[in-house]
Structure 1
Amino acid sequence: MDMIWVSVLLLCLLLAFLGAGLWVAFSLTAIGCISLYFFSGIPVGASLSTAFYSASVSWDLAALPMFIWMGEVLFRSRLSEEMFRGISPWVGKVPGRLLHTNIIGCGIFAAISGSSAATAATIGKMSIPELSRRGYNKNQILGTLAGSATLGLLIPPSIILIVYGVATEQSIARLFVAGILPGLMLMCLFAGYVMIWSLMNPSGVPAGESESFSFGDKIRRSRPLIPVMLLIIGVIGSIYAGLASPTESAAIGVALAHLLSWKSGSMSRDTFVSGLMGTVKTSSMIAFILVGAHFLTTSMGFTGLPRELAAWINTLGLSPYMLLMALTLFFILLGCFLDGISVVVLTTSVILPMVEAAGIDPLWFGIYLVIVVEMSQITPPVGFNLFVIQGLTGENILRIAWAALPYFLLILSGVILITLFPQIVTYLPGKMGN
C-alpha cells in the first residue's frame, strides 16, 4: 500500500480512538501496535517492552516531576496574594496601568509553574476581581489574562519544552535557554498593545490611579517577590552558565521553593501532601503519554513512514517558509481539539524528519512549535485557558475568545518574527558552554 494512504489510514484511526474517549497514551500505543503488526516484520511485544523501558529510564525525564513539584509548592504559597501588591507600584504611570499586572504576573508565574492553565488560574483569581472593581475594561482584563497565561508554555522551566526535548532527544538545557528571549518578546508585544490600546481608548482605563511611590517604597512593596525572582534567576542562570543540568537545578528549585513556602508561613502538612499528590498525578499523566509517544516513534521508524513522508514533502518543492506556513495552519487546527502536550507528542515523530529534511534547526523548531501551541490555548472549542477563565468569571466562552483574539494575533506575529529573525531563538543557546 502507498505510504501516503497508510498515513491517512493511521491518522483516521488515531482520531477515531481519541474521539471515542480513549486515553491519549493508549491511543498512541494502539497505533504503534497496528503499524508494527501490519506494516513491518518487527515483533510487537518485544518492541513494546523495549520502548516502554527506554522511555521510562530517561535521566532528562527526571526534571519533569521536579519542576512540576516546584510549581505546585509555590502555587500553594502566598505568592499570588503578594504579586498584585508588589507589581502595581511599578506600572501606575505606564499607559494601561494595572492591566500590565496580568502580563508581568503571568510572566513571573510562568517561570514558576511551567503550566499555562495554572498560570491563568492563579493570576486570574487575584487580578480579575481587583481590576473589575477598579473599573478596567472587561475585554482587556480577560484578553490580557488569556494571552499572557500562554507564557506558561514557553518561559522556562517549561513542562512542554521538557516533553519536546525528551520526545526529540534535544538538549533540555538549550531549549530552556532558547525560550527566554521569545518569552520576553511576547511580553513586550502584549505590553505594547495594551499601551497603544489604552491611549486610543482612555475610557477603558480608570482615572484617579495616580498614587505616587518613591523608588524605596516600590522596593519595599515588592520585597515578598524578591526571593521568588532570585529563585527563578538561580534556576535558569545555573543552567545557562553550565553549573547544573536541568534535573539538578530542578532539585535545587524544589528545595528552595519549600524553604520559601515555610518562611512565608504557608507550608503545612496539608499543603505539602496536596502539592505532592498534584505532582504525582500530573507527572504520571505526562510520563504515560511520553511512553506511548516513544513507542509510536519507534514503530514509525520501523515502518519507514516518516522517511517516506519526508521524501514526499521534498517532491512538492516547498520552501522552508511554505512548509512552516502549512505546519502553522495544521498545528492551529490540531490545537483546536487537543491540549498542547498531546499536540507535541502526536506530531513530532512524523513532522521532525520533514523539518530536518527542509534544513530547519530542530532546536528552533521546538520553540516555534511551543509558540504555535500557545495560540491553540486561546482558540475554541478546546482552548484550555478559555475554560479556566470561564470557570473564574462565568462569562460566555465566545466572549472570552473574542477578547483574546488580539493576543492570538500578537502570538502569530511572534511566530513571524522568530521565522524572519531566528537569532531571537538561537542567540542565547549559541552562547552557552558545551
Structure 2
Amino acid sequence: MDVLMVGGILLLLMMVLLSGGVWIAMTLAICGWVGQAFFTSTAPGKNLFSAFWESNASWELAALPLFIWMGEILFRTKLSEEMFEGLRPWLNRVPGRLMHTTILGCGIFGSVSGSSAATCATISKVALPELMKRGYDEKLALGSLATAGTLGILIPPSITMVVYAVAADASIIRIFLAGFLPGFLLMALFSGYIGWWSLRNPDKVPAADPPSSFLQKIKQSGNLIPCAALIVFICWVLIAGYATATECAAYGVVGSLGLALWSRSLTWQNFKEGLMGTTRTSCMIMFILAGAAFLTKTMAFTGIPRELAEWVDAMHLSPLALISVLVVVYLILGTALDGISMIVLTSAVVLPMIQKAGFDLVWFGIFIVLLVEIAEVTPPVGFNLFVLQNMTGKDSNLIAKAALPFFGCLVVCILLITVFPDIVTFLPDLVMGVDK
C-alpha cells in the first residue's frame, strides 16, 4: 500500500478516536500500534515498551516536573498575585493591560526552560487564574498561552535547536544567537495583536485603574522583586554555564519554596496540593510524550516523512518554491509528529536540498523551529493544545480556534524572516563574524 495512503488512514483513525473521547496518549499509542501491526513487518509490542522507556528516561526531561512544581508553588501561594500586582501599574495604560503578561512570562520563562510544554504549563498555571479573576477574556488568554508557550523552543537555549544543529552539523552557538531577534519579533507580534484586539473590544477588557504617580508605580513594583530576582538568578546561572536547565529548574523550586516561606504564604496544605498538582500534570505530559514517541517510531517504519521529502526533491523546484512546498510538508507532518521527530526523520533528505538551493543552514534552523512552533498548536496532535486541555478542561478544538490569530502571527514571522533573512543572521554574524 502507498505510504501516503497509510498516513491518511492513521490520521483518520486518530481523529475518530479523539472525537470519541479516547485519552490523547492512548489515541497516539493506538494509532502507532495499528500502523506497525498492519502496515509494517516489525513487532509493535517490543517497540511500544522501548518507546515508552526512551521517551521518559531522559535527564533533560527531569526539568519538566521541576519547572511545573515551581509554577505550582507560585500559583498556590500569593507570589503570583504579587507579581501581577507589581506589573499592573506599568501596563495600566497599554491596550490589553495585564494580558501582555502571558507573552512576557512565556518569553522570559521560555529562555530558562527550553521546553514548549514546560513553558506553556508553568505560565498557564500562574497567569490564567489571575487573568480570569480580574475579568479578562478567557479565549484570548487561552490562545495567547497556547502559542506564546512555543517561545520555549525559539528563545535559546532550546533542545530542538540542539537537535537541529547536530543533524545539520551547524554551530550550536550560532543557532542559539540566531533565535533571539526572531523570538523578540514574535513576542512583539503577539503583543501587537493583543493590543489591537483590546482596542477593537474595549468592553471585554477590565477598566483601567486610576492614574498613579511614578513613585507610586515604583512602590507597587516592590511586589515584583522576589519573583524577578528568582528569574534573573535562574537565567544568570544558566547563561554563565554554572548549571544545566535541569539544575536551574531545581534552583527554581528551592527558590520559590524559600520565597513562599519568607512571605509566610506557604502552608502544609498548599504544599501538598502543589505537589499533587505537579504529579498529575507531569504524568499527563509524560504519558502523551510516550504515546507520541511510539507513533513517531511507526512513522519511521512506514517511511512517510522520507517519502514526502523525496517527493519534494523530485520536483526540482526553485529556491522560493522549495521553501513554500517545505512549509506545506512540515505542516502536514506537524499534525502527527513532535518537532524533534520532524527534524530527525527528514534532515537526511531535506538538508542537502537546502544547501543546494543556496540557503544558510543557520537561517533554515530558525525557519524549521518556527514551523515546529506551528506544529505545537496544530490539531490533531498540537502538544500545547493537549497541555492546556488537560489543565483547563476546555476542548482542544476550542483552544485551537482561540489560538488562530496568534497562529497567523507565527505565519507572519515566517514570511518576515524569509523576505528579510538578516533578522536571523544579523546577531550571529555580529557576535561571531560572518561565517565563510
Q: Tell me if TM exceeds 0.5.
A: yes
Alignment of 1:219-230 (within 5 A): 219-230=218-229
3-state SS of the aligned residue for 2:77? coil
Q: Which residue is equivalent to 2:358? A: none
State the one-letter code of the partner of 2:17.
F
Alignment of 1:118-157 (within 5 A): 119=123, 122-123=126-127, 125-127=129-131, 130=134, 145-150=141-146, 152-156=148-152
Q: Which residue is equivalent to 2:62? A: 62
1:186 and 2:186 correspond: yes
**Deviation, structure 1 residue 222:** 0.9
Q: Which residue is equivalent to 1:394? A: none
Q: d(CA) in 2 for partners of 1:346 and 1:19?
A: 25
Q: d(CA) in 2 for partners of 1:194 and 1:13?
A: 36
**Number of paired residues?**
401
State the one-letter code of the partner of 1:310.
A
Q: Which residue is equivalent to 2:371? A: 368
**Change beyond 3 A, Cα 1:306–1:106:** closer
Q: Which residue is equivalent to 1:321? A: 323
**Change beyond 3 A, Cα 1:116–1:316:** same
State the one-letter code of the partner of 1:103.
H
**Change beyond 3 A, Cα 1:84–1:355:** same
Q: d(CA) in 2 for partners of 1:285 and 1:122?
A: 18
Identity of aligned residues (%): 34
**Deviation, structure 1 residue 287:** 1.2
Q: d(CA) in 1 for partners of 2:387 and 2:46?
A: 37
Q: d(CA) in 2 for partners of 1:202 and 1:65?
A: 38
Q: Which residue is equivalent to 1:74? A: 74
CA deviation profile, 1:116-149 (whole Å, cap 9, x unmatched): 47646754544466578xxxxxxxx567645543
3-state SS of the aligned residue for 2:42? coil
Alignment of 1:341-360 (within 5 A): 356=351, 358-359=353-354
Alignment of 1:20-169 (within 5 A): 20-92=20-92, 94=93, 96=95, 99-104=96-101, 106-108=103-105, 111=108, 114-116=118-120, 119=123, 122-123=126-127, 125-127=129-131, 130=134, 145-150=141-146, 152-156=148-152
**Change beyond 3 A, Cα 1:353–1:25:** farther
**Change beyond 3 A, Cα 1:31–1:357:** farther
Q: d(CA) in 2 for partners of 1:224 and 1:105?
A: 18
Alignment of 1:414-425 (within 5 A): 414-421=413-420
Alignment of 1:208-223 (within 5 A): 211-214=211-214, 216-223=215-222
State the one-letter code of the partner of 1:107.
L
Q: Which residue is equivalent to 1:273? A: 272
Q: d(CA) in 2 for partners of 1:401 and 1:32?
A: 27
Q: d(CA) in 1 for partners of 2:166 and 2:88?
A: 39
Q: Which residue is equivalent to 1:250? A: 249
- Could you state the TM-score of these two structures normalised by the residue count of structure 1? 0.71
CA deviation profile, 1:172-199 (whole Å, cap 9, x unmatched): x989987655443333234445667888
**Change beyond 3 A, Cα 1:229–1:405:** same
Q: d(CA) in 2 for partners of 1:407 and 1:115?
A: 16
State the one-letter code of the partner of 2:371.
Y
Alignment of 1:403-418 (within 5 A): 407=406, 409-418=408-417
Alignment of 1:329-344 (within 5 A): 330=332
Question: Aligned Cα RMSD in Å?
Answer: 4.7
CA contact (8 A) 2:148 2:187 kept: no
**Change beyond 3 A, Cα 1:131–1:41:** closer
**Deviation, structure 1 residue 200:** 9.3
CA contact (8 A) 2:306 2:346 kept: no
Q: d(CA) in 1 for partners of 2:307 and 2:208?
A: 64
**Deviation, structure 1 residue 103:** 0.3
**Deviation, structure 1 residue 424:** 5.1
State the one-letter code of the partner of 2:101.
I
State the one-letter code of the partner of 2:57.
V
Q: Which residue is equivalent to 1:283? A: 282
Q: Which residue is equivalent to 1:298? A: 297
Q: d(CA) in 1 for partners of 2:56 and 2:190?
A: 39
Q: d(CA) in 2 for partners of 1:188 and 1:144?
A: 16
**Deviation, structure 1 residue 272:** 1.1
- Between 142-151 and 16-25, the greater mean CA deviation after superposition: 142-151
**Deviation, structure 1 residue 250:** 1.0
Unaligned runs of 5+ in 1: 133-140, 392-396
**Change beyond 3 A, Cα 1:413–1:331:** farther
CA deviation profile, 1:45-69 (whole Å, cap 9, x unmatched): 3333333332232222111111111
CA contact (8 A) 2:367 2:414 kept: no
**Change beyond 3 A, Cα 1:228–1:296:** same
Q: Which residue is equivalent to 1:135? A: none
Unaligned runs of 5+ in 2: 111-117, 355-360
